């Protein structure tokens, strides 16, 4: 069975999507449509902007989404997924890929999500840290002992977990995790505590937008970050997508579930090769490739 996976924030790079724009009339039309929907020339920023330009949340999220979705649309008949999944933001790309969401509706949701998350970061200054070399249970237990808000946010692969919370709590957790034997526990250059209770205001904003957006029955199941299991019911997909902002991304568990359900080939669609690398740490034998351009 063919599984397609879609990257999230952090995969962006200067020049992303330019080859698609230059080589495909369909891609050009979609980029122009995106510029109109967003109200600014995102394609110009993607093709010519600096790394700093691309790091702006209002740019990063739609840029990564557009690269993945437009690429999947121009692959034509070769794009035949049996199952899909996306890492955090990438879940929106996955939902366009399997027909749950229309391109325009998903882009509007991604834009609203980015702005809502930015506002939440301003309301509650916060951060994230990557923890390498410890079992998930150890990280979970340490987080519970720390005063303040710090929680597991991204289960990326075995012995690689990102924690999220207030600055003080995350710093204290990093100290405690190093004492427990973590190879690394390092603060990340991010604007806030994504996938934590500190994103509650963003979750509420996004919930309203999601509830008013049409979701169709998908062509194939999506393995969602919150449940890790195959979901095909549009209402259930909505609920999980809303929960995602304040819940952890269970990527390790999701990859294991896709493999258990019969996935034999994985293709990462979009910028970078991060997900392919994470997948290989879950199962070294799995067949995986990345497509970032035509």
List the CATH number of the domain containing 174: 3.30.70.250
Give me the catalytic one of 72, 88, 126, 292. 88
Size of the chain in residues = 294
Let me know whether 24 and 148 are in one domain. Answer: no
List the CATH number of the domain containing 13: 3.40.366.10
- Cα–Cα distance for residue pair 264/110, rounded to 1 Å: 30
Give me the catalytic one of 195, 196, 201, 290. 195
Let me know whether 238 and 96 are in one domain. Answer: yes
Q: What's the number of domains the chain is made of?
A: 2
DSSP 77-130: GG---SEEEESTTHHHHHHHHTTSS-HHHHHHHHHHHHHHHHHHHHHS--EEEE
Let me know whether 132 and 143 are in one domain. Answer: yes
Let me know whether 97 and 172 are in one domain. Answer: no
- pLDDT tens column, 63-90: 999 999 999 999 988 899 999 999 999 9
Weakest-pLDDT range from 60-64, 153-157, 186-190, 275-279: 186-190
Domain that holds residue 140: 125-188
Let me know whether 163 and 111 are in one domain. Answer: no
Last residue of a domain, one of 157, 188, 219: 188
Let me know whether 230 and 184 are in one domain. Answer: no
pLDDT at 79: 93
Res 293 pLDDT > 80: no
Let me know whether 98 and 229 are in one domain. Answer: yes
Last residue of a domain, one of 136, 165, 188: 188
The SS3 assignment for 259 reads: helix
195 is catalytic: yes
Let me know whether 56 and 164 are in one domain. Answer: no
pLDDT at 292: 82
Let me know whether 99 and 10 are in one domain. Answer: yes
Phi and psi of 262, rounded to 5°?
110, 10
Let me know whether 74 and 177 are in one domain. Answer: no
- pLDDT tens column, 249-259: 999 999 999 99
The SS3 assignment for 5 reads: strand
Let me know whether 207 and 179 are in one domain. Answer: no
232 is catalytic: no
Last residue of a domain, one of 188, 218, 237: 188
Average pLDDT, the chain: 95
Res 10 pLDDT > 90: no
Let me know whether 284 and 233 are in one domain. Answer: yes
Task: Give the pLDDT band of residue 44 (cuts 50, 70, 90).
Answer: very high
């Amino acid at each position: 069975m063919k599984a397609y996976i879609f990257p999230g924030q952090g995969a962006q790079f200067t020049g992303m999507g330019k080859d698609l724009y230059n080589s495909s009339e369909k891609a050009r039309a979609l980029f122009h449509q995106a510029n109109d929907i967003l109200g600014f020339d995102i394609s110009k920023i993607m093709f010519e902007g600096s790394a700093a330009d691309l790091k702006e949340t209002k740019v990063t999220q739609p840029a990564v989404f557009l690269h993945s979705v437009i690429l999947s649309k121009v692959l034509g008949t070769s794009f035949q997924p049996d199952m899909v999944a996306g890492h955090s933001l990438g879940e929106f790309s996955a939902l366009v890929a399997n027909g749950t969401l229309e391109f325009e509706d998903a882009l509007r949701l991604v834009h609203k999500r980015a702005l809502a998350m930015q506002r939440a970061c301003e309301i509650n200054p916060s951060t994230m840290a990557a923890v390498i070399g410890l079992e998930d249970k150890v990280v979970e237990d340490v987080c519970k002992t720390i005063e303040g808000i710090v929680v597991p946010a991204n289960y990326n692969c075995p012995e690689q977990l990102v924690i999220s919370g207030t600055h003080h709590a995350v710093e204290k957790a990093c100290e405690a995790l190093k004492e427990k034997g973590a190879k690394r526990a390092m603060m990340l250059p991010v604007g806030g505590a994504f996938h934590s209770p500190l994103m509650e205001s963003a979750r509420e904003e996004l919930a309203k937008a999601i509830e008013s957006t049409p979701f169709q029955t998908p062509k194939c199941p999506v393995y969602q970050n919150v449940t890790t299991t195959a979901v095909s019911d549009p209402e259930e997909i909505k609920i999980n997508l809303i929960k995602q902002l304040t819940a952890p991304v269970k990527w390790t568990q999701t990859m294991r579930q896709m493999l258990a359900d019969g996935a034999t080939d994985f293709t990462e669609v979009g910028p970078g090769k991060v997900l392919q690398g994470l997948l290989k740490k879950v199962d070294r034998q799995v067949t995986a490739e990345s497509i970032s351009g035509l």
